[in-house]
A and B are shown apart, each in its own frame.
Chain A
Amino acid sequence: MSSIPEELSYTKEHEWIAGLEDGITVTVGITAYAAESLGDVVFVQLPEAGATVEAGDAVGEVESTKSVSDIYAPVSGEVVEVNQVVVDDPSLVNSDPYGDGWLFRVRVQDTPEDLLSAEEYATVTTADS
């Protein structure tokens, strides 16, 4: 079973959000569960630094051998940094989804109310499988 770190927040679309409680800049990635479901990730397209994103918008995509999935912005705000390392080596999404495989950082303007705790996200992955 893939790991679901306690300290992170999650979306139903399998993004994780780190650093939400400080309310300034958060880091976003996709969960180990999502990475495992996708298979070997071969391409990651991320929003550009400086772009304004709305929570729920498709802002990028992850492509694996067999499929392609949208990446959704989990919060609204300004993209302040993207992880060029993962763009160059998309396999990091599989090997280290919560670490070097992070995707982008957003300076938060608005946080939706339906973000999930680790415990709540665990029920989403159980329902899926």
Chain B
Amino acid sequence: MPARRLRTLAAATIAPLLAVLAGCSTGAAPAAEAAGEPRSGGALTWAVETEPITLNPHQYAQAKARLLVWNTFESLLTYDKQGKLVPWLATGWQAAPDGRSYTLTLRDGVTFTDGTPLDAAAVKANIDKLREPGYAPGVAAVQLRNLKAVEVVDPRTVRLILTTPDVLILDFLASPQGAQVSPKSLREAKNLKAGGVDVVGTGPFVLDRYVPGQELHYRRNPGYDWAPPTATHTGPAYLDEITYRFLKESAVRVGALTSRQVQLVEGVPATDQPLVTANRTLRLTRELNSGSAYSYYFNTSHAPFDDLRVRQAFREAVDVDTVLRSVYRDTATRAWSVISPSSPLYDKSLDGGYGGDVAKANALLDQAGWATRDAEGFRVRDGRRLTVRLVQAAPYVRDRRDVLAQAVQAAVKQSAGIDLKIALVDQGTATQAFERNAYEVFDNSRADTDAGAALNLLLHSKGGINRTRANDPRTDKLLEAGQATADQAKRAGIYAQLQQRVVAEQALVLPLYAPADQIAASTSVGGVRFEPTAGVPASAYDLWIGR
């Protein structure tokens, strides 16, 4: 039986690989570092997939740019491993009992790399700038929607006054958009919105060279002494210099790594991972992103997904595990909810609750009136085929999501006679389809640190990207309550109810996988880390070169 032997062989090859993957995906204990003890000095080169559109953190919009932001800029707060907010440039914060204001105390002795001290006036200058018309419309309209004013109480104390209780303002203070830029830069930088060497922060590195299309070069900030509690050391960074080179092709990134032209790369697709794991001088680490899972959102505003049974049937028609395995070779983590499993707000009770039941899918479609099939095997009702359109905007297709769509397409056709039409188009065409309501399936994942921020956009009836076009008062109420409640346990309860509502009861989404980031690095590099909660590669602060 050659087929069986092949399978055994495949299993024998894959099993150790999986063991390696599993072994290295845990939070690396410093003791196990192959690079030995941390030491100071040296220069590293890191190949990244994406060139940032802007280097100004206030304008930040690309998850792939996060690892660069924190080299030069810092926020008032940050998240620890448990997803709890902890101080950074602020030493602490206090919410008023009515939740309508937050008072933050700033750390002493922090200076921007142009010499300007970080004080309450600087923080106010940053937030005021963000609310200036035409500067950062997205931040002003979403994160700072409920902010009324910023008050300088004294040089070390600043107060944010809100129009309504809003705990997500704290997430803003921990986000790249909330990072502190030198007020001098805000006034004088030549191309402020684009950022660059003249837009400076308080971070452990200073950007001293940017060659667009090629690389970013940072050197150590020798005066740095205010590392967040989540870092593994204090004082200045270990590295003297670090260069990030933009190499967009994954094969080229991995090739540059194996030929030692670079020491670290991020963005290692499943197909290239064996190349890294087979090499004993390299190490692969991966971590799940926070925020919302990569999901298909069903447009409920018209047929056929206005019928709950059809939405459920679509989910039952896909064996997500099989689809993921065929596309990602066991490197993808299945998602069961619209929230990523790595988020503290994730509701575990949804695991295994639905999906992959072909008989049920067919029964549901029969009940919904799609009982007959045409010559090609697709279901029809009143002479119309059961067709649903997925519109993917090419600039946002990553992780081979176009291939994944084809696998889902084949699955729903074969198991339930659903015709999933995929259109891979430019951004303009996609937006037009969304505006004209000419789609039934929308795919999306967001890497927000607080999943609540993502869900506000995706699920609220007035949300900016509410592509399910759902208009459910209960969902809105839960989202608003989640944003207004400061008690973490209570919040988790609210978002659990919300997930039950949209995933289990309403079947608004088909969650597919939790996006992950990968870093492949030479074993001589120590301190390779992911940012807690966000799950994306961390800044270069903790990196060092071993012997």
Do A and B truly interact? no
